[in-house]
Structure formats: structure tokens, C-alpha cells
Structure 1
Amino acid sequence: MDDLRLLQQVGQEVPLASSDQLAPARDRLLAAMTGTPVTPAAPATIRRGARRGRRFVFGGVAAAGVAAAIVSVLVLAPDQVGGDVPAARADAGQVLRNAAAAALRLPDTTPRPDQFIYTRSQEGRDLRESWMSVNGTRDGLVRTTSADGTADAVIPGCRNGRAAVVKGGQVLPGQTEPCTPEPGYRSDLPTDAAAMGAYLAEHRSGEPGSVNSAGKDVYYFAGGYLRPQSRAALYEAAATVTGLRAVENVTDGAGRPGIGIAWPSTGGTGEMVLVFDPESYAFLGVSGASAVLALAVVDKVGQTG
């Protein structure tokens, strides 16, 4: 029996915790994610610079919505992961807890500082590929293919506090500007649900108590490269939010079917629906918006896995 099959067997033999067992932690996490003071504090290693990276993603890269299917070198076949409760009969919290259990069965790979995070996604009708420096010091690239053709945009690395100036997607020779490295891989994210809930509360992108904004923060992190423990903690924290509901028979931005987790809107802009595979519980994307088709760690710009 290989290691992955052994992990699968062990995971299937360990039942998920009941709702009663999870209730105390759920209450603490819900308070954290909605802005109420909580007992657990975010780890001291979390950098305040995380907010700057979020502005980049929401401002440009994810205007159509960031989403991810953890595929390529990261995802097991659908019959190798999954929780105990079929998605069609589960509530939103159960689906997210199943996704957390499935995440813990994924291979655990730590990217090297000199590597890149490769992502291939569909944003509306456009295909987008990106190579982001793991530690933020090396030049990355975003390639967009649309009906009008293919366009490349350089993402300059930040070295010794300076980065090249980019205009129209191209580097201006000899010109630099002050910078702070924006890593493509977040090594500082919490690995347990309580700390993750506190982190999401501290670094929220919206107003305290906004469930929809909390959902955007969840899909922002879920759409990136996370180690299994952090991904599981993210889903466990999300499972504590009240007002979520499971939606059957939805599709991600690439048309892949799944079960949705609907995050209600407090501003009248409509629900945001995160889509999970109904068998493997892999995160597929955002309904009607986008889907990531590959996510991998590579050695250089241009590699795809």
C-alpha cells in the first residue's frame, strides 16, 4: 500500500467531530470572524504586510473573482478523499468540515524561496496564467489569453527594498521604486482553526460583521497555494459562520458541477457562491465567475508543472 492510500484509509476510519463537540470552538471562531473580541490571538509571526498583498489581488488579478481547484501535483483523485456525509445531504457547515478533512489528506509540499507558484485560471472568457515568486523577490509574470490574443505583464520582484517600474506590463529600463516583497506563498498562515478565525478577523477586508466580506477573504486564501494544515484551518473557521447555506447543482466559472456554499450579501449585491467538488471536496471556484484549472509549485517562469 502506498503512502497516499494509507493516508486515505486512516482518514476514512476517523469520523468527523459532531456538531455538539464543535460547538464551543464554533462560537469562538464566529465571534472572531465577525469582529467580536476573542480569546485566541493571532500568531505573532503573522505579518501586517498581508493587507498590501490583498489589495493587489482584489484590485486587479481577481476582479472577476479568484477561485481554485487544487489540481495538478496537489490533488488526489475524487475517490481518494472526502468526508463522511454526502454533499447533497449536508448543510453548509458540514460541507466545509468535509473539505477540511479532505485537505488534510493532500500531499504536503513546502515551496522553496527561489520557486514560483503557477496558477492557470479561467476568468470569464479569458484564460489567465501567473507565475508568482514564492518569496516575492524574483520577477513573476501574468499571461492573459483572450479573443484579442495573448498579453504578458511582468510582476517585478522586490530586492533590497527596490523594484523595477512597470508600465503597460513592461519594465522601464533603469527605473526603480520603493517596494515591500509580496510573497506568492504565505508561510505564516495559522494551522489551527481558532488561530485562523482570529487572523481572518484581524485582517478582514470589509466591515466587522459582514458575512459577505468574510466569504471574499475565505475564497481569496482558498484560491492560493496553502499547505494542508492551513487550508483545513481555513475551512474549519469558515464552517463556524452562521447564515451560510448549501446549494446543490451549481457550476464554477469553467462549468464544472459541484455543491455551493452561499455567502449572503449585506449590501444587496447578491450572494457569492463558493463551489466544491461533491465527491472530493476540492475547492473548484466561484459560481458564474471563475475557476482555477491548475495550481503547482515550479522552478521558473514558463513552467506549468
Structure 2
Amino acid sequence: MIRKESRREESLDDAELARLLPAPGDPHLSLDRHLLLEEHLMNELRTPAPAPTPAAVPPRRVTRRFLLIGVPVTAAALAGAFAFTTMDDPGASGTTEATPAPVEAPVVRIEAGTTAQLAATVERIATAASARRTPEPAPGQYIYVKSQVSSVVVSHTDEYKTKTLVQPLHIREVWNSPDGKQGWLDEPGYKPKGGITLDSSVDDTVNAPSYNYLKTLPTDPDALLKKIYTETKGQGNSPDQEAFATVGDLLGEQLAPAKLTAALYRAAAKIPGVVVVNHVKDAAAREGIALAHVDDKSGDRTEWIFDPKTYSYLGSRAVQINEANDIKPGTVLEYTAVLERAVVDAKKQRPGTQGAGA
């Protein structure tokens, strides 16, 4: 059917316009996304950039919050707000390597989640985690995590229709001391050459924990989940989504004691809306089974992916389930793959090397 639209040529007064236009929305951004937008605005103030031409708007990557694995920065949170252009990381020494041009986000077939296998699947994942030997980092050592990652970026001007664009897959390496006070991040193309410091004096929280802090958390799933809900109250789009995201924060670029890891999985199974999704691939194209939860406001589903045989954690993925802000269902907004996790003797040292620390 072809729909014909007529154009009203007479002028409209303010009252009539208010009546015709839809009521403004009241979107609620999580604390993580507020932090990302705040950082972007500060970077805009500090870093002058030439105005891009509407025909080709170079994208600007918004720096991910460290440990932000469970909560992707969705285009729904950013669409229509800014024009993004490539930039260096202000305040960091060194020269940023050329940032790779973004690519269109992949689109996958959406597989429905189910609760039928939830209890059994979580128990298998938790049992495997309990039996897995986890290295104990000593003072002076560092927790090393190497991942392959891709996150969403958004290009938009008044003359350039919003498209869902993502970074090309690339390597990200993180070093963190057990107390969380010292660290290093190397992400070529997105950080200054050689990496940047992650040194911090901020106190630990469930959203940004150190290894030493994780050791203090309860290993009873009910007590653990209660603590997570209490400490994240008022954050995120809903208490359940924020709780799920917080557990996800503890799984990616961190090392947790085996008993706590098992407790986290069992706690996650108690969050309303958590489902099992089969046949999910991580950023390294490894197929697994996922525990997942949909954010009802943004319409995307966060998935933690596990090896279907060993039940070890592989990575994460965020997929748009319900269309929002012109993002099509099936669009992959973020995906990661943990390639290596180890304890090393020095910052910047990689497993299997000696004397490479700095």
C-alpha cells in the first residue's frame, strides 16, 4: 500500500504543535552510560576538533569504562546526541595510533531464550567453576587478561542518518594489581601507543572490584545477590538488569576465587528474567551456551557465553532484541572473547615472558 502524505502549508502556533507532537520521552541512563557521556563531554571541551563534513563523519570512540563487560554502550543511549570523531585520550602520554575505521555492526539470527534448562545449566557452570584451579596473585604481582573485543560507536549529524557502527575486532590487554591500585591497559588504535595507566585510589565497589575486594564477598548466593541489589540500588534501567550487569562486571577483566565465581553464577540464576540461549558465538567465533538477560528499556540482551563442554567462561555479547532508535533486531552491539587470563610478576609482562615488566 502506498501512503500519500499532504503538507500543511499554514503556520502552526505553539499550542497546536505541542498537541500534535508526541510527548517527550524520559529515558533513564545507567550510571555507566552517564559516566561515558560525561567523559565524552569533557573530552569535547578539552580537545578541539575540525568540523566533519556531513558526507563522511569519522566516528569517535567513547572510552569504555574499565571492566565494563556486562553493560554495553548501546546506540540507543547515544543516538542523535553527538557527532563522534576520532580523538586521542586526553591526559595520557604518548601518541595514539591511527584508529581503525568502524564497520557496520554484524547482524545475527535471534535465538529465543528458555528457562527450562536454566537450573541445570547454571549448576553445571557453577560446579565446573568450583573445581577449576585459580591462581592466587601475591602482592607485587598482576592479574593479566587478554581479550578480543568490539564495541558500538555511533555516527550522526543532521544530514547523516544514524547507522549502527562498531569497532573492528581488536586486542585489548589489561594488567591489575590484587589491591586494584595499580594497573595498565594496552589497546592499540584506541589508546596512546604503549598503553595507559590504570592506577587508582578509588575505593572498591561491586561495580569496580579488585581481587582483594572480591575475596571479602559472601559465597552464599542469596547473601551475595542481596548485597549486589543493595549496593546498586537506583542504578541502571531496572534493579534486575543492573544486578545482572554487575555480575557480568566481575566475569570479564578480572580474576575471582573459584568459590565466589560459582556463587556468582548461582546468584545470577535467581535474577528474574535470566534465560539460557543456545548456539551463541563470542568474538573469537567460538560457539557456546549463554546465560542472558534483556534490558526492557534499551531492548538489548546481554549474554555471557560458556564452553558447552567444559563450561568455562568464553566471553560476552550484546544483541539488540527489540527495535529501538532504528537499531534492527539481531544487531550485535558488543562482543568479547577472553583469550588468556593469568598471573604475572610485573606490569606490562605477558605470560611466558621474563624481564618484560616495566
Q: What's the TM-score bracket when you normalise by the shorter of the two chains?
A: 0.5 to 0.7
Q: Distance in 2 between matches of 1:94 and 1:66?
A: 25
In structure 1, the gaps of 5 or more residues are 1-50, 68-87, 159-178
**Which among 183, 188, 213 is matched to residue 140 of structure 1?**
183
Question: Equivalent residue for 2:336?
Answer: 290
2:195 aligned residue: 152
Give 2:231's aligned residue.
203
The letter for the 1-side match of 2:284 is A
Work out whether residues 66 and 290 of structure 1, in 8 Å CA contact, stay in contact via their aligned partners in 2.
Answer: no
User: Which residue of structure 1 aligns with residue 218 of structure 2?
Assistant: 190
How far apart are 1:257 and its partner, in Å? Answer: 0.6
Aligned residues: 211
Q: State the partner residue of 1:257.
A: 287
Q: What is the 5 A alignment of 1:85-96? A: 91-96=117-122
1:151 to partner: Cα distance: 4.2
Contact 1:120/1:130 (<8 A) preserved: yes
Corresponding residue SS for 1:109: coil
For normalisation by structure 2, the TM-score amounts to 0.52
Q: Aligned in 2, Cα 1:210/1:111: closer, same or farther, shift over 3 Å?
A: same
Partner of 1:216: 245
Aligned partner of residue 214 in structure 1, secondary structure: helix
Contact (CA 8 Å) 2:237, 2:297: kept in 1 or not?
A: no
Distance change in 2, residues 1:248/1:113 (3 Å): same
* Cα shift at 1:118: 0.6
The residue number in structure 2 matching 1:102 is: 128
Which letter maps to 2:174?
A: S
Q: Deviations over 1:109-149 (max 9, x none)?
A: 33212211111111211211111111134x42110124999
Greater Rg by CA: 2
* 2:66 maps to which of 61, 85, 104: 61
* Greater fraction of residues in helix: 1
Out of 239, 255, 267, the residue aligned to residue 297 of structure 2 is: 267
Higher relative contact order (CA 8 A, sep 6+): 1
> Per-residue displacement from partner, 1:227-273 (whole Å, max 9, x unpaired)?
00000110111112232222111101221110122202221332111
| Cα distance change of structure 1 residues 180 and 262 upon mapping to structure 2, 3 Å threshold | closer
Deviation at 1:62, TM superposition (A): 4.6
What are the residue-to-residue correspondences of 1:32-51 with 2, within 5 Å?
none
Q: Is the contact between residue 67 and residue 250 of structure 2 (CA under 8 Å) also seen in structure 1? A: no
8 Å CA contact 1:64–1:123 kept in 2: the answer is no
> Residue 95 and residue 296 in structure 1: after superposition, are their counterparts in 2 closer, same or farther (change >3 A)?
same
Q: 1: CA distance between counterparts of 2:67 and 2:277?
A: 23
- Give the secondary structure class of the aligned counterpart of 2:260: helix
Map of 2:146 onto structure 1? 120
Cα drift, residue 59 of structure 1: 5.1
**TM-aligned CA deviation for residue 100 of structure 1:** 0.6
Post-superposition Cα deviations, 1:139-185, rounded to whole Å, max 9, x if no partner, equal: 42110124999441012354xxxxxxxxxxxxxxxxxxxx5578641
The residue aligned with 2:175 is: 131
Following superposition, the deviation at residue 90 of structure 1 comes to 6.2
Q: Is the Cα–Cα contact under 8 Å of residues 184 and 197 in structure 2 kept in the other structure? A: yes
Q: 1:299 is matched with which residue?
A: 345
Any idea what SS the aligned residue of 2:227 has? helix
Per the normalisation by structure 1, the TM-score is: 0.60
**Alpha-carbon distance between aligned partners in 1 of 2:179 and 2:117, rounded to the nearest angstrom:** 38
CA-based RMSD: 3.3
Q: 1:77 aligns to what?
A: none
Contact 1:134–1:184 under 8 Å retained in 2: yes
